[in-house]
């Protein structure tokens, strides 16, 4: 298993990281690190709600054989869990694999840990750079 590294930083940093990733892929210089990047804190909290984090943990710990079983683990409606699982799959946090019991779709979390780094500036750097110096 591996660690999923989640970063939240400004869009310019995302662009630089994406360019570096492409460069590393082209030069076969990847370190095998799984990373998920969000451009804003709002994007992060909209995507990884407490309910979704609870669902991810339940799947990682219990390895349910189906979406229905995952919903039972977190005591939520199957259709709501299905929607969350699809979103988490798009983000790359889990996979939905065919071949569970009776041909069910099985959610699988390929990580044993999530680490989050949030760059949350309290002052807009662009405004600070253009502000006149006081004398």
Region of residue 14 (left: phi > 0; alpha: psi -120 to 50; beta: else): alpha
* pLDDT of 94: 96
Rounded Cα distance, 44 and 51, in Å: 13
- For 3-118, CATH gives 1.10.10.10
Average pLDDT over the chain reads: 83
Rounded Cα distance, 131 and 10, in Å: 20
Model pTM? 0.76
Q: Mean pLDDT check: name the lowest of 4-13, 61-70, 83-92.
A: 4-13
Rounded Cα distance, 83 and 60, in Å: 18
In the DSSP assignment, the letter for residue 27 is T
Please list the residues that pair with 114 across neighbouring strands. 4
């Amino acid at each position: 298993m591996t660690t999923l590294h989640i970063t939240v930083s400004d869009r310019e940093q995302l662009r630089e990281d994406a360019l570096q990733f492409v460069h590393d892929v082209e030069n076969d210089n990847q370190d095998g690190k799984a990373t998920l990047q969000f451009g804003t804190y709002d994007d992060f909290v909209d995507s990884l709600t407490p309910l979704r984090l609870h669902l991810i943990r339940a799947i990682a710990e219990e390895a349910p054989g189906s979406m229905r079983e995952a919903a039972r683990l977190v005591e939520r409606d199957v259709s709501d869990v299905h929607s969350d699982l699809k979103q988490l799959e798009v983000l790359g946090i889990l996979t939905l694999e065919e071949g569970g019991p009776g041909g069910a779709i099985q959610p699988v979390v390929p990580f044993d840990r999530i680490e989050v780094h949030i760059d949350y500036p309290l002052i807009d750097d662009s405004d600070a750079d253009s502000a006149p110096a006081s004398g």
